[in-house]
Chain A
Amino acid sequence: MRLETPNKLEELRKSILEKQDPNKQKILVCGGTGCISNGSLEVAKAFEAELKSQKLKAEVEVKITGCHGFCERGPLVVFLPQSIFYERVDLKGVPDILKETLISGVPHDKYLYRMTKKDDPITKEEDIPFYKNQLRWVLRHNGKIDPTSIDEYIAQGGYSALAKALNGLSPERIVDEIDKAGLRGRGGGGFSTARKWRSVKDADGGPDNIRYVICNGDEGDPGAFMDRSLMEGDPHSVIEGMIIGAYAIGSNKGYIYVRMEYPLAVKHLDLAIKSARDYGLLGENILGSGFSFDIEINRGGGAFVCGESSALMASIMGRAGEPRAKYVHSSEKGLNDLPTNLNNVETWANVPLIINRGADWFAAVGTEKSKGTKVFSLVGSVNNVGLVEVPMGLSLREIIYGIGGGIPGGKKFKAVQTGGPSGGCIPEAHLDAPVDFDELTKLGSMMGSGGMIVMDEKTCMVDVAKYFINFLVDESCGKCTPCREGLRQLLIVLTRITEGKGKEGDIELLKDIGDCMTWGSLCALGGSASNPVISTIKYFRDEYEAHIKEKRCPAGVCQDLITFSIIEGDCIGCGRCLKVCPSSAITGENKKPHVIDEKLCIRCRACYEVCPVDAVMIE
């Protein structure tokens, strides 16, 4: 069915809504990658089967949605309209959950949310601290609608921003609105979206007046999965944003570049593109406006550097994804040497929101220079792990403690890493800093795409720096010398330090190499590669010095600097450590204290991890 005019879209929306009953009993089962891994699709099937056998099928709808954000607690199931939230639902629990929720009307206690086992349960989704303190704008549909149904998106008001844009807003007006809203790119650098759009719009599109728009769904930052959730859980909002942007810029052709590790995102985007085409929301003469635009999906080949704009475009053109020097901007000569506008997934998803609700509404939230919200993937040593969306300007403390529920196991907070391999580690002293583009940069880190990795006292900061450099050694394309050789040298020095062979002057050497790379590298991969090193030196210099001067790893991580032993009084003789020890370094009898032979131990840490009573000691 083609929608020939914006009015037809409204009529369709009305007819979909008329068929929906807001009070109908619904069971939302999360079908995001995280919950699927933990068996959510089987759980959904079990609900269906159970409803059928209890003859409740007609009254209850089971819906598979995108990621709700609270992936660690999955599989998640939410009952509507009651808004009852169940976590870690397994097949065993399905019959009882149904019986108690639907028949007796009292939620089934066992699967309700509890922050820790000792806490009281919280019944409603909106009362859980993890959700309560968020402002879910971009993620508003995630976990609410079925991402494979365009009708559900339309019922939520989807594509009305596109209709509004095509029906009465000039391309200039749209760019102005995005400008006034103060939208900055969510992919890393925080560049003004309107400014980028304007320069592409004004660039020379050649004899055929061609311009491209691209959505960057490469999401290479380790520890980040915001873009994945959006593409999987609400693909239409990304597509709608792209169509509006294309109209504003004057482009007829778009690409979505998705990394190959995200097959479900590709599937949902593909489906969304096809159904948008069927409705005439994509393709020729969109909504009868005369404007034509279509989108193609490109699967990336698994190279971090392909997230960089010029590398990404090279990859779409069928070449190795190597960045080029940017004497000329992609906004003038990008894909096929024509003006190209590249934005991140989350950036695009913000566009319909701004067009619908207006720039002033959008700009009312956030800080002076960072408007709206930002989605973070809050992971690592934090109680509530998952995706969180918060207004810009919330403090790190409010995110990590308010929403994240603090550090598990009574451990102490040490640092939070933001900005991925281009970012840095922020220590406790700055936990009250407001989170926005400029504040994080001031602290020597970066907003980046939104990875937020919380680290506790058991994390060695030298090891973390080494980790990022090791990552980048693998990922550097090797085209320019400062990056290729600089990374190698950084790794050599950091490895030496973590092995207890560090020398006086190594810290200064790290800084010098980092400086060279910052100034001399061709692209931002090399240009920002030293950030994790510099920021850990800045805030945790004592830890570097302990490694270099005292040959000691204070956090007990660096393998060459630690020894393992068992505390005799604490050991209950369960034998678990003995079973996992790969080098037969542990001896002992059942129910009696075990001992480690230090000479045989290869310091693999397995015993430490399995011991149920923390009897293994690291020094």
Chain B
Amino acid sequence: MNYSEKSVDKIVKDHNGDASKVILMLQDVQSEFRYIPREAVKKLSDDLDIPEARIYHIATFYKAFSLVPRGEHEIRVCLGTACHIKGGKRIAEGFERALKVKAGETTKDKKFTLETVNCLGACALAPLVQVDEENHSKMTIEKIDKVLKQYKK
């Protein structure tokens, strides 16, 4: 979704304009636009009367936030200990090869953003890959193409 001032206005109101809730507001901004647009930072800074630098500090500190637009689907390959032991790194490399991007990057067609994460808390299903909200358990190199196909439409 493109930036809209109205949406940010609503987000600020939802949290009663309370400056200590800026992280929660950024979370809402992120889920609305799938990234933190510059304009949103500027507006939050004005509305809440906190310096832009502090908001950027937060936006770069927490992994949940991205300052660049994300792909339509987010692929998170778990590299937590349980997944690491079961070959998570190789699954991540497999996705890198299949999508021709490095972890952290978005494909040219803006379809996928590939990420590695540290434990999604479903370790019994290791190695685990999450695409958007959906978990794909016990991933193998062979299953990568099948999984990607599901989201390519």
- Distance of A227 Cα from B54 Cα, bound (Å): 31
1/0 per residue, CB under 8 A from A, across B118-152: the answer is: 11111111100000011111001110000000000
A95 at the binding interface (Cβ < 8 Å): no
Contacting residues, chain A, for B118 (C-beta < 8 A): 220, 222, 304, 471, 474-475
- In the bound complex, do residue A222 and residue B119 qualify as a contact, i.e. CB atoms below 8 Å apart? yes
- Size class of the contact patch on chain A: 35 or more
Contact of A610 among B121, B123, B135, B141 (CB under 8 A): B141
- In the bound complex, do residue A303 and residue B126 qualify as a contact, i.e. CB atoms below 8 Å apart? no
For the residues of B in contact with A, the DSSP-based class is helix
Tell me, rounded to whole Å, the shortest Cβ–Cβ distance linking A234 to chain B. Answer: 16
- In the bound complex, do residue A301 and residue B64 qualify as a contact, i.e. CB atoms below 8 Å apart? yes
1/0 per residue, CB under 8 A from A, across B72-95: the answer is: 000000011111111100100110
Q: What residue in chain B is nearest A317 (Cβ atoms)? A: B20
- In the bound complex, do residue A225 and residue B85 qualify as a contact, i.e. CB atoms below 8 Å apart? no
Tell me, rounded to whole Å, the shortest Cβ–Cβ distance linking A88 to chain B. Answer: 12
- Distance of A71 Cα from B23 Cα, bound (Å): 33
Interface hub of B63, B65, B93 (most chain A Cβ within 10 A):
B63
Tell me, rounded to whole Å, the shortest Cβ–Cβ distance linking A114 to chain B. Answer: 18
Contacting residues, chain A, for B24 (C-beta < 8 A): 298-299
- Distance of A302 Cα from B136 Cα, bound (Å): 21
1/0 per residue, CB under 8 A from B, across A312-340: the answer is: 00011111111000000000000000000
- In the bound complex, do residue B61 and residue A604 qualify as a contact, i.e. CB atoms below 8 Å apart? no
Q: What residue in chain A is nearest B76 (Cβ atoms)? A: A261
Contacting residues, chain A, for B61 (C-beta < 8 A): 301, 303, 320-322, 477
Contacting residues, chain A, for B93 (C-beta < 8 A): 604
- Distance of A377 Cα from B83 Cα, bound (Å): 13
Interface size on B, residues (CB 8 A): 47
Interface residues of A in 289-310 (CB under 8 A from B): 298-304
- In the bound complex, do residue B21 and residue A318 qualify as a contact, i.e. CB atoms below 8 Å apart? yes
- In the bound complex, do residue A320 and residue B57 qualify as a contact, i.e. CB atoms below 8 Å apart? yes
Contacting residues, chain A, for B87 (C-beta < 8 A): 605, 609
- Distance of A318 Cα from B23 Cα, bound (Å): 6
- Distance of A222 Cα from B93 Cα, bound (Å): 20
- In the bound complex, do residue A609 and residue B85 qualify as a contact, i.e. CB atoms below 8 Å apart? no
- In the bound complex, do residue A33 and residue B135 qualify as a contact, i.e. CB atoms below 8 Å apart? yes
Contacting residues, chain B, for A304 (C-beta < 8 A): 118
- In the bound complex, do residue A319 and residue B125 qualify as a contact, i.e. CB atoms below 8 Å apart? no
- In the bound complex, do residue B23 and residue A302 qualify as a contact, i.e. CB atoms below 8 Å apart? no
- In the bound complex, do residue A380 and residue B85 qualify as a contact, i.e. CB atoms below 8 Å apart? yes
Interface hub of A301, A474, A580 (most chain B Cβ within 10 A):
A301
- Using CB atoms and an 8 Å cutoff, list the residues of chain A in contact with chain B: 33-34, 36-38, 71-72, 219-225, 228, 260-263, 298-304, 315-322, 377, 379-381, 385-387, 417, 420, 451, 453, 455, 459, 467-468, 471, 474-475, 477, 576, 579-580, 582, 604-606, 609-610
- Using CB atoms and an 8 Å cutoff, list the residues of chain B in contact with chain A: 19-24, 26-27, 54, 57-58, 61-65, 79-87, 90, 93-94, 97, 117-126, 133-137, 140-142
- Which 5 A-B residue pairings sit nearest by Cβ, starting from the closest? A301-B62, A222-B80, A37-B135, A71-B124, A223-B81
